[in-house]
Chain A
Amino acid sequence: MATTSWESELTQSLSAQFGDKIVEFCSYLGQNFLIARPEAVIPVIEWLKTEAGFDYLVDITAVDYPERPERFELIYILYSFGRNERIRIKTSIPDGYRPVSATLVHPTANWLEREVFDMFGIEFEGHPDLRRILMPEEWQGHPLRKDYSILQQDQAWVRENLGIESAQ
């Protein structure tokens, strides 16, 4: 990605607070984001909420890069009403890593993290109710992973619940 660097008094305060836990401050097409180490994400989100006024968690999502050793990239998008500014926090985590849940900081994270768990299999530590939200409860497999083919289904579930032998 052809990023440019992002410098502002917010990045300076963040560097002063978190040091090398934040790997990089970047900007692409005018949209600012920072790359943090996985264990620093929740402290950064909390600091941004209490000290910098980023009181609205817009979205939590993930992207799967299976060829990387740290397979998933978790992305948090935050917005501040006071500053009218939106930033992204990105972190790379390997398969099996359990990131800390953001529900204590922003209650919005509840269903958003459930969806990330459902689609990618990333389990969040400390989530009050981590179970599947869009797929049926007993479904095996995490559909948005790149090794889950678009025509793949949980044949056992389909056979048992729909009574058909799916042609896919």
Chain B
Amino acid sequence: MADSTFLDSTELVLNMGPQHPSTHGVLRVILKLDGEKILGTECVIGYLHRGVEKIGENRTYQMFAPYVDRTDYVAAVSNGLGYCLAVEKLLNVEAPPRAQVVRVILTELNRIASHLVWLGTHCLDIGAITPLFYTFREREMIMNIYEKYCGARLTTHAFRIGGLQYELYDGFEEDCREFCDWFLPRVDEYEQLLTGNRILVARMTNVGVLNAEDCKAYGVTGPMLRAAGVKWDLRKAQPYSGYEQYDFEIPTGVNGDTYDRYLVRMEEMRQSVRIIRQALDRIPDGPIMAKVPKVMKPPVGEVYVSIEAPKGELGYFIVSDGSTQPYRVRIRPPSFVNLQALDKMARGALVADVVAIIGTIDIVLGEVDR
């Protein structure tokens, strides 16, 4: 951007402002165009910055947990899982087996919900309006399960440090099994509508290509990395909360373009259903909360724990100074790091492709800005 002159008449600077239906939140992208071709992009973020990390230094560990839900508000349960795992590691406790299995069920339901939001909004940006209604209909069933379990649909605060607070309600297993049975044929329905669709294929293949080396160089993780061909998932590489007991596959792509990411996320939804069914078969009896003190004062130290959130590697770096409040809470957001690669992916593409690329990175501005 620094080598443009003011009077250069072939280049146009266009502002895709924070108020825009396709930027998935308050994201501002400044495009430098030559006709319709992109010469460079610049992301301006910070419109949703709420100072969550500063707030973390002023609340106790338990009080901070609801704030964490509101960073990636679409996948709030995953955020809660990451934070609870990080504080539990500092306190050197482990959640009991029953709590771990229920955590896996709720987190995988959340992964499906997050991917459904992605699918609906991404296809809406590209121009297909119908999938949005279908995906949100399925998401309603997940929201109902959450509401019956913990009282909230979106920002759930479902987990507590040390385990769970609420026991499963009567009918939880039936609801989850009903959802899984209803959902798998629906994924086939979406595929029937979208996967071979000529318009979708034309708008998605070779758009936003990011190969494996670039992914690693830019620190991109999650479905974007897997679509580039790297078979890596934190649930398999560094399992947490009992994931090593479940049998599931890691879908990968070949080219690292938007179409491959679409296929990877569709397959991930199916694998999540597989994990949920296995977990439902093996919910053990027992306590749901480990022995944690009411006033939590972890010993002086620091820890970095990361999980495979639906969008990538979500990490929590917590520094404790021995008091009831953390000294520093750092949230390593996958969307923030993945969004850096937008410039690399968008150069040489057309304006319409920028919308597809922003959609395929699957950003949530709450997480980018915190």
Query: A residues within 8 Å of B by Cβ?
Result: 1-2, 28-29, 31, 55-59, 61, 63-64, 75, 77, 81, 84, 86, 88, 106-108, 110-112, 115, 119, 132-136, 143-144, 150
Across the interface, which residues of B come within 8 angstroms of A63, CB to CB? 319, 327-328
CA distance A88 to B330 in the complex (A): 14
Contact of A150 among B54, B301, B315 (CB under 8 A): B54
Of A61, A75, A110, A143, the most chain B CB neighbours within 10 A belong to A61
Across the interface, which residues of B come within 8 angstroms of A143, CB to CB? 51, 54
Across the interface, which residues of B come within 8 angstroms of A31, CB to CB? 303-304
- Write 10 A-B pairs (CB below 8 A) sorted by A numbering: A29-B303, A61-B317, A61-B330, A77-B332, A81-B232, A86-B304, A111-B336, A132-B46, A136-B46, A150-B54
> In the assembled complex, how far is the CB of residue B359 from the closest CB belonging to chain A, in whole angstroms?
20
Q: Does B18 contact A (CB under 8 A)?
A: no
Q: A29, B301: Cβ atoms under 8 Å?
A: yes
Interface size on B, residues (CB 8 A): 41
CA distance A77 to B305 in the complex (A): 11
CA distance A76 to B303 in the complex (A): 13
Q: B216, A56: Cβ atoms under 8 Å?
A: yes
Contact of B217 among A58, A108, A119 (CB under 8 A): A108
Contact of A133 among B45, B53, B218, B238 (CB under 8 A): B45
Q: Does B337 contact A (CB under 8 A)?
A: yes
Q: Does B202 contact A (CB under 8 A)?
A: no
Also in contact, A133 and B317, with CB within 8 A (given A2-B301, A56-B216, A56-B219): no
Also in contact, A110 and B46, with CB within 8 A (given A59-B317, A77-B304): no
CA distance A28 to B332 in the complex (A): 20
CA distance A75 to B315 in the complex (A): 14
Known contacts A29-B301, A55-B217, then 8 further A-B pairs from the complex at CB < 8 Å, ordered by chain A residue: A1-B300, A55-B216, A58-B313, A59-B315, A77-B304, A108-B337, A111-B339, A133-B46
Also in contact, A29 and B237, with CB within 8 A (given A59-B332, A144-B53): no
> In the assembled complex, how far is the CB of residue A84 from the closest CB belonging to chain B, in whole angstroms?
5
Chain B, 83-104, contact with A by CB distance < 8 Å: what is the 0/1 string?
A: 0000001101000000000000
> In the assembled complex, how far is the CB of residue B368 from the closest CB belonging to chain A, in whole angstroms?
9
Of A2, A111, A119, the most chain B CB neighbours within 10 A belong to A111
CA distance A107 to B340 in the complex (A): 9
Which residues of B (53-93) have their CB < 8 Å from a CB of A?
53-55, 57-58, 89-90, 92
Q: Does B302 contact A (CB under 8 A)?
A: yes
> In the assembled complex, how far is the CB of residue B90 from the closest CB belonging to chain A, in whole angstroms?
8
Chain B, 290-314, contact with A by CB distance < 8 Å: what is the 0/1 string?
A: 0000000001111110100000010
Q: B340, A108: Cβ atoms under 8 Å?
A: yes
> In the assembled complex, how far is the CB of residue A141 from the closest CB belonging to chain B, in whole angstroms?
12
Q: B340, A1: Cβ atoms under 8 Å?
A: no
Also in contact, A1 and B219, with CB within 8 A (given A59-B332, A84-B237): no
Closest B residue to A110 by beta carbon equals B340
Closest 4 CB pairs of A and B: A108-B219, A134-B46, A134-B49, A59-B332
Q: Does B369 contact A (CB under 8 A)?
A: yes
Q: Does B230 contact A (CB under 8 A)?
A: yes
Q: A77, B217: Cβ atoms under 8 Å?
A: no
CA distance A66 to B90 in the complex (A): 23
CA distance A106 to B214 in the complex (A): 10
Q: A59, B300: Cβ atoms under 8 Å?
A: no
Across the interface, which residues of A come within 8 angstroms of B306, CB to CB? 58
Contact of B49 among A86, A88, A107, A135 (CB under 8 A): A135
Across the interface, which residues of B come within 8 angstroms of A2, CB to CB? 299-301
CA distance A119 to B52 in the complex (A): 12
> In the assembled complex, how far is the CB of residue B135 from the closest CB belonging to chain A, in whole angstroms?
30
> In the assembled complex, how far is the CB of residue A32 from the closest CB belonging to chain B, in whole angstroms?
11
Q: A135, B304: Cβ atoms under 8 Å?
A: no
> In the assembled complex, how far is the CB of residue B313 from the closest CB belonging to chain A, in whole angstroms?
7
CA distance A110 to B219 in the complex (A): 11
Across the interface, which residues of A come within 8 angstroms of B216, CB to CB? 55-56, 81
Of A59, A77, A150, the most chain B CB neighbours within 10 A belong to A59
Across the interface, which residues of B come within 8 angstroms of A61, CB to CB? 317, 330, 332
Q: B218, A107: Cβ atoms under 8 Å?
A: yes
